Every structure is written in structure tokens, then in C-alpha cells.
Amino acid sequence: MSVATRRAGEPVIERGPWSVAVRSGPGDAEWDAFVGEVPGGHYAQLSAWARLRGTSGWRARRIVVSRRGEVVGGAQLLLRPLPVVGSLGYVPRGPLLAAGPGAPPPDLVVDALERVARGERVRHLAVQPPLGADELAGLLPVRGFRANPRIGGYTATVRIDLRRDPGELLARMRKSTRANVRRALDRGIEVREGDGADVDALYGILREASRRKGFSIPTLEYHRELWRHFAADGRAHVFVAEAGGVPVTAHLVLVAGGCAYAHVAAWDGSHRHLMPNEAVEWHVIRWAKARGCASYDLEGVDPASAGPAAAPGAPRAGDRFVSDYKLGWEREVTAVPPTYEFVPGRVARWGYEHVYPWLESNRLVKRLRAAAVPSVHGAGADPVQAAP
């Protein structure tokens, strides 16, 4: 691997037909277009997510692999400064690699990622590969990374294949869920796609759900910023279910990589007999299918409900009743790669692997670790909790 000329002020690495550029800045339309289409693309790899995380002290460096002028791979690395010693690094749902013969080898992207991490003095690097990145997930332990399902995002989810026809989607539901969908269609719940003005209504429902179920949520301003950053590129959509003109259930859906993600889902607890949750869920599923999405992701289930699909050692995640609701829509659980972590330096790595486990039960240490490697839901409502 050799360092070639600089392009637009950024370092470029060349290997065979591939060139690797390291970019920064709040927006990157070329990178976002790649993330929006590549299999496994996730909203946490979009520049909009980096801008949102920037409100809590993170900044982004993007490793972009091109072949003949076309983006074919890379990773968005989020960085958070540490006092004096360097920084923390996190790659949520990346690196991403194009499918087909033009795809770069995974080790090329990992090489570039490690080089950037060294340059940024990263003292703890966490990487959670995307769905389908089996070769990448197999490479990371060889490069000294260690799987740690206790940090990062969820390790099991419910993902509905929207390439099936509506009849088949209904047939794959649990019998009670299918019956509730049909009841919802008959009982007068109105579902509509909203706009930015409905984010406040979504937050009001979410706040009521948090009081009812006892989980914490971020601020209204956070949700407004989430909408502002993602809606600007057409990647955020809000759906509201109303009973008698009053909002009772709402979803905020993010779209990337051919998948619609139920990123925030909340119900205020009222009008259960009208099945508002099933009404809005079925509406979003049909909307995503009509839009051309290949899948709809309900964003995480509790490992205790996921069975063999859950990563060994994954902690409990949210409300098992919510997980049971999600499993009613699709009987198969999709395993999500766990987060892999790397601590550079032999002494630091030895201390992290042998001393740190003794400290993990300490509440302060847990809080510091959560801040170091946030879930992709770390600044938003955990969908495993926030739904019915």
C-alpha cells in the first residue's frame, strides 16, 4: 500500500485498482448515495448521523474506497476526544463493501481504518459490522479485535422481507397479529404520513410511553435535530395513528441501504381495542414495500426472546413484551454481528483484558463505557422499549 498524491486536500492511499481517501466535514453526498444503496447500508453510516452525533461531542472521519471513480466501500468513523490521552473511535454498522467483482478486499478497508485510528490517537476502537458482512466479521479477530456483545447496538432483530407479496407477509405473521391487523383496518384508526410539525406529537407520545414504562428518553430538541438532519435528504419519515383525530401511536422511520428502520416507535397506551400499533405498523410495511425497500427492520429484540440468533453474552435489552410484539410480525429472528473492540498497545490491551473485567460491575465504569461506545440508539429512544 502506498500513499499517492493528495486530492482536494485529503490523503489518498492506492492499492491496485482501488484508491482510499480520508474525508471529513459535515456532509458527503457521494458517500451518502453509496450508503443509501449498498446492501447492509445503515443510517448510522450516513453523514446525517455524524451531524446528529456532533451535538454530543462526536466528529466523523470517512474512509472512502473508490474504483474507477465510483465509491465501492469504506467506513464512517466517529471520534470523541479524551482528555490528554487521545480519543475514542466507533464504527457503527460498518465498514460497508459493495457487492460484486469490483468490491475491495475487507483487509484494505481495515488497514485504512487502523491507519486513521492511529493518526487520531484512538485508545479504544469499536466496530460493529453490518448485516451480511461475514468475511469482515471473521477478519476482525485475526486483526486483534475482540467480540463484545455487551457494547454497541443490538445483536438480534426482526427484519421483514418486503420482496414477498402482501398475502405472504400476512401468512408469516403470528395468528393473533394477523387478526389484530384485520381488526385495525375495520375499527376506524386513521394512519397518515406526517411532516416536521408531527415530530412534537411523536415526542409527546414517546414521553407518555416513557412515564408509563419507566425508561428515559432524550429531549424534544434532539428529536427535532434528528428530523432536521435526516429529512433534508428524504431519509426520515414520520407516521401517526389517530383515534378521533387525536394522535395515539407514532413511528419515525429512517431509510438506508434498501431498508426502512423503525427507529422510534411509541404508543401512549390508549385505545388498545382499536389496535393502533398494528394499524401504523402495517401501514408503514406497505409504504416501505411500495417505496421499493427490500426489508423493514423493527430495530432490535431482547436476546432472551431471540433464542439462538442472539450473540452469546448479550445483555438484556428493554421490554420482553415489546419483543414479543415484534416477533408477531415475523417468526424468524435475524442475527446482527456483535461489536468488536480493539485497544492498541500491548500493555494497555493487557490491562483492558485482564484488569478491566474486575471493574465492570462498578456503576461509574459502566457509565464511562456506555459513553465511549453508544448504541446507535444511545441518543434516542431504544425501540426495544419504546413500542407497545
Which of these three, 90, 115, 143, is where a domain ends?
143
Distances (CA, A) of 285 to 288, 370, 379, 386: 5, 32, 25, 18
Beta carbons within 10 angstroms of residue 195's beta carbon: 11
Predicted confidence band of residue 382 (pLDDT cuts 50, 70, 90): very low
**Top-confidence residue, 319 or 48:** 48
Which of these three, 84, 117, 143, is where a domain ends?
143
Same domain, 139 and 185: no
CA distance 224 to 179: 35
**Across 62-76, 295-309, 350-364, which has the greatest mean pLDDT?**
62-76
Same domain, 191 and 220: yes
Same domain, 138 and 177: no
**Top-confidence residue, 353 or 158:** 158
pTM of the full structure: 0.88
- Residues spanned by the domain of 78: 2-143
Helix (H, G, I), strand (E, B) or coil at 313: coil
Q: What stretches of 120-188 show up as alpha helix (H) in DSSP?
A: 134-142, 166-171, 175-186
Same domain, 218 and 269: yes
| Nearest partner of 62 among 2, 6, 11, judged by Cα | 11
Which of these three, 143, 168, 200, is where a domain ends?
143
Tell me whether residue 367 is in a domain: no
184-239 per-position pLDDT tens digit: 989 889 999 999 999 999 999 999 999 988 888 999 999 999 999 999 999 999 99
Structural domain count of the chain: 2
237-291 per-position pLDDT tens digit: 999 999 999 999 999 999 999 999 999 999 999 999 999 999 999 999 999 999 9
Same domain, 268 and 328: yes
Tell me whether residue 291 is in a domain: yes
In this predicted structure, what is the pLDDT of residue 100?
A: 86
Same domain, 161 and 137: no
